[in-house]
Amino acid sequence: MPFFAGLTAAALALLPATAFAGEAPVEESAPAGWLMAGVAGSRGGGAGGVLMLRPRGPDRTREGRGSYEPPVLPAIAFPPSFEEADVGKGSRKKGPKTTSDRKPKVRDVFVGQPFEGLAAEAELIALREFVPSATASLKLAGSDEKVTLGTVLPMAAAAFVRSDGERYLGMQVQTRSSDISRDLGRALQWVLDAKEGDVLSVPDTTTPPTADEKARLQDLLDTSVELDVTLFNDFAWWLPEDADASGDVALSLERANAAIMPTERLGAGAYWVLAGEKAHLRWVRPEPENLLLQALARLSAAGELNLGEGSRYAGSFRAHGLLVPVWDLDPEAHAREWADAKDQLGVRLEAALKSLDTEPLNATERRSRDGLIGRQLTIR
């Protein structure tokens, strides 16, 4: 059906005028009361053509008799090769894309245990998830450059260089990709080349990884070195000793200080924290989850899964591939009062882990394990 079918006289009058040819016999498909003039040239050829409609007066017959001469309406011009004009969705398809037009697909696989292979894995998870204010020096592989790892940096930045030249890498940031170790590694590479006062607001989480990219922490750090963590009661370490905070840094410092909960380190990956009216021990364990759950279940069935009076096992959560058991503690007791009890629990836990090599769980211990699984959460 031609594109002008169904147009009213008013609509046809708005079409632009163009040259038209003389009359031709009227086709039977013309609307009642109208005459259709012939087409000059071929609609499918290169010469183009025009179509003209004229109203039929009462004295005008198909043979052209009568003296009535109606006004000539504007002609409708067909462009050359009208049938080949782009019309509809189908015509917008230009055929299959060539190989050069296709963008390579990058499969960014989620890394569930991003710090695996590092001796400081448990400590890194603690600093990432629940330690408020702490720092630790990083030992780079094959380099003497000094970089300090911090829990939270000003404005939750990924990295920055202080005015005195000290380089800092932030653990708790605003964005992440599927591989946190790569995010931190890229930020570490950035801070090594940065100048005093430079700030990396967010880590690079969008650049597709390449097969030869060596940007993970496992590629940049000495994997055998553990972290020597220093805890703080505030974030004054953001600034050099002789500097004062101002502007956005002062505001961020004030808010960060107000959010700090009293925290004490009781060992590698083990932290006591006073959270309001409750106190907790959070202990990031390096063992595989299934093996650790069996050992905890063995202690629980024996009534040994606590730290003494005023404590109880609260549950556990998963963080970056490792399990973090949590105990509720008496908030009236100081953190140092739980240090010996925590060490004794660690000895019992190691013995339970070792016993699993020769003695599988019995029915009571399996029921205990099922109860422990029901009290698990996953935060990362």
79 band by pLDDT with thresholds 50, 70 and 90: low
Average pLDDT in the chain: 82
Q: Is the pLDDT of residue 100 over 50?
A: yes
Interhelix angle 289-301/363-373, nearest 10 degrees = 120
List residues bridging with 283 in a β-sheet. Answer: 270
- Whole-angstrom Cα distance, residue 128 to residue 113? 13
Q: Residues 161-186: what's their mean pLDDT? A: 95
| Residue that is written with structure tokens 């058991």 in the block | 325
Q: How far is CA 167 from the centre of its chain?
A: 26
**pLDDT for 47:** 45
- 33 vs 107, more confident: 107
Q: How far is CA 111 from the centre of its chain?
A: 13
The candidate with the shortest Cα–Cα distance to 120, out of 171, 193, 183, 186, is 171
The candidate with the shortest Cα–Cα distance to 179, out of 149, 155, 215, 151, is 215
Among the listed ranges 7-21, 204-218, 329-343, which one has the minimum average pLDDT value? 7-21
40 band by pLDDT with thresholds 50, 70 and 90: very low
151 band by pLDDT with thresholds 50, 70 and 90: very high
| Residue that is written with structure tokens 């553990």 in the block | 226
| Residue that is written with structure tokens 């949590």 in the block | 326
List residues bridging with 323 in a β-sheet. Answer: 318
Give the CA distances from residue 309 to residues 140, 212, 352, in Å, rounded to whole numbers and listed in that order: 44, 54, 21
Q: Is the pLDDT of residue 259 over 80?
A: yes
Q: Is the pLDDT of residue 311 over 70?
A: yes
**pLDDT for 69:** 61
Among the listed ranges 31-40, 186-195, 292-301, 344-353, which one has the minimum average pLDDT value? 31-40
Residues sharing a CB contact under 8 Å with residue 203, sequence separation 6 or more, in sequence order: 158, 159, 173, 175, 176, 177, 183, 184, 186, 187
- Whole-angstrom Cα distance, residue 92 to residue 255? 55
- What confidence tens digit (pLDDT) does each residue in 264-303 have? 999 999 999 999 899 999 999 999 999 999 999 999 999 9
**pLDDT for 80:** 53
- 50 vs 209, more confident: 209
Among the listed ranges 45-49, 62-66, 143-147, 272-276, which one has the minimum average pLDDT value? 45-49
In degrees and rounded to multiples of 5, residue 122 shows phi and psi of -65, -40
**pLDDT for 130:** 94
**pLDDT for 351:** 97
Q: Is the pLDDT of residue 43 over 50?
A: no
Evaluate whether 358 touches 310 at the Cβ level (below 8 Å).
Answer: no
pTM above 0.85, yes or no: no
- Whole-angstrom Cα distance, residue 221 to residue 8? 78
Q: Give the domains, in start order, of the chain with CATH numbers.
A: 1-88 (no CATH), 113-260 (no CATH), 261-380 (3.30.1460)
Instruction: Decide: residue 306, CB within 10 A, 0-12 exposed, 13-18 middle, 19+ buried.
Output: middle
Phi-psi region of 121 (alpha: psi -120 to 50; beta: other; left: phi over 0): alpha
